[in-house]
Amino acid sequence: MTAVKVLVTGASGFVGEAVVLKLLVDQQFSPIAAARGATRLQGLCPVQPFDLTHTKVLPALDDVQVVIHAAARVHVMNETAVDALAEFRKVNVEGTLSLAQRAAKSGVKRFIFISSIKVNGESTHPGKPFTADDRPNPQDPYGVSKYEAEEALKQLGRATGMEVVIIRPPLVYGPGVKANFLSMLNWLNKGIPLPLGAIRNQRSLVAIGNLVSLVVTCIYHPAAADQTFLVSDGEDLSTTQLLRRIAAALHVRSRLLPVSPRFLKVGAFILRRPEMAQRLCESLQVDIQKTCMVLGWTPPESIDQALCATANHFLQQKNKPISTRR
């Protein structure tokens, strides 16, 4: 049986690299890594240069059956671009559409787009999680760009017959995670007191292993065609619960002070960081019932398993000897 040829963009990033490694392990697929810069995948599989900001140079798609598009201009807390929406559109909409048009012309059967839960919105009310069929309500330039890319891909799929699959993950974490999750690991490991001991929100997360499992399922499952899926670990946690579970995985005592979320929001407003308070204090839940029912899929990894793997990797990296060069 000939292995399915799969091109994965963003292969030097957290999600893209994990997808390629999983495809290599499964041995049912023949992955091609498309990466903007250096990648650890060099030598493990074919690697092609690919930069969404230079869409005139697109990867070759000869005999490629599936494209997994994980490359993007990512959301950042402190955006510095004068016209952020224009910058996001250039990469996440125009770049994505250029790649998808090339894929359709090259005979690619399925295009899997890693979108974002930000297409649904920024927060949910208690007991009312986002669903895949909710009316989109993006609130920031990144979310708007992902929504516009989704719509452009659907239109292209209808016009060409190429199957389009959209996956909207919430916060993705796992071994090697960066950004805010890495900051939490550092704070807890150092025993820094945090004013986050009285937050009773509910937030959905997704471990990298669970996200990759869903992506691989969407490569071959016939029912995935032209569908939009939400994904999570299947268990929602408050910020306080999450920090305690991370501390347990690190084998340290969490030092969480019971400060009212109201005061945290006031403090964030004074510091001109309202987005930080929103992420820490408000709820963002997703309903993965459609994903599970349509695909017969369940998250293979529990939150505690994923947090232990994340914490172990973090500690291993912290304890690595620093090499010295003479």
d(CA 111, CA 9): 11
d(CA 270, CA 40): 42
User: What separation in angstroms does the CA of 63 have from each of 4, 6, 43, 70, 103?
Assistant: 9, 9, 21, 20, 10
DSSP secondary-structure letter at 200? -
Length of the chain: 326
Q: Is 220 a known active-site residue?
A: no
d(CA 156, CA 81): 29
d(CA 238, CA 203): 6
Phi first, then psi: give them for residue 206, nearest 5 degrees: -140, 125
Spatial neighbors of 274 by CB under 8 A, at least 6 apart, are: 265, 268
Catalytic residue of the set 142, 147, 173, 220: 142
d(CA 254, CA 257): 9
d(CA 72, CA 312): 28
Residue 169, helix vs strand vs coil = coil
Q: Could you give the residue numbers annotated as active site?
A: 142
